[in-house]
């Protein structure tokens, strides 16, 4: 799955989604999501590359813990056969916002 296809898939959350970040002053009211590439790994054998996986982080930004939205994202990932790991949650200091992060592996 390409990052473009991944972005289209995230539109299924029915919330604003942006690559990396919203521009200053353009961030919508929560909930919204941002995603960005974390890295790339190439699986190799017999002196040649077989395939590359890209890791992408998805951050859900909400005003409080939103388990329904987290479940919706997880369902989208499972339905699209994407491996993911829940990275954790945190409060964005000074912003009264809550962030849940997922690492997703695109093959």
* Mean pLDDT to the nearest integer, 7-24: 94
Q: Which residues, 6+ apart, have CB-to-CB distance to 98 below 8 Å?
A: 61, 62, 63, 64, 65, 66, 89, 90, 91, 92
pTM of the model: 0.88
pLDDT of residue 101: 97
* Mean pLDDT to the nearest integer, 3-15: 95
- Delimit the domains of the chain by residue range: 3-106
* Mean pLDDT to the nearest integer, 48-67: 93
* Mean pLDDT to the nearest integer, 91-107: 91
Going by pLDDT thresholds of 50, 70 and 90, the confidence category of residue 92 is confident
- pLDDT > 90 in the chain, percent: 73
pLDDT of residue 51: 83
pLDDT of residue 45: 86
Domain 3-106 fold is STM4215-like (3.30.2000)
pLDDT higher than 90, residue 93: no
pLDDT of residue 9: 96
């Amino acid at each position: 799955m390409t990052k473009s296809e991944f972005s289209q898939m995230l539109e299924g959350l029915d919330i604003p989604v942006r690559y990396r970040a919203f521009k200053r002053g353009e961030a919508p009211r929560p909930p919204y999501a941002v995603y960005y590439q974390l890295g790339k790994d190439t699986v190799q054998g017999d002196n040649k590359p077989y395939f590359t996986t890209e890791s992408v982080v998805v951050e859900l930004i909400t005003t409080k813990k939103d388990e329904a939205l987290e479940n919706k994202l997880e369902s989208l990932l499972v339905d699209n056969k994407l491996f993911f790991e829940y990275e954790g949650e945190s409060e964005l200091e000074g912003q009264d916002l809550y962030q849940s992060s997922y690492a997703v592996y695109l093959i």
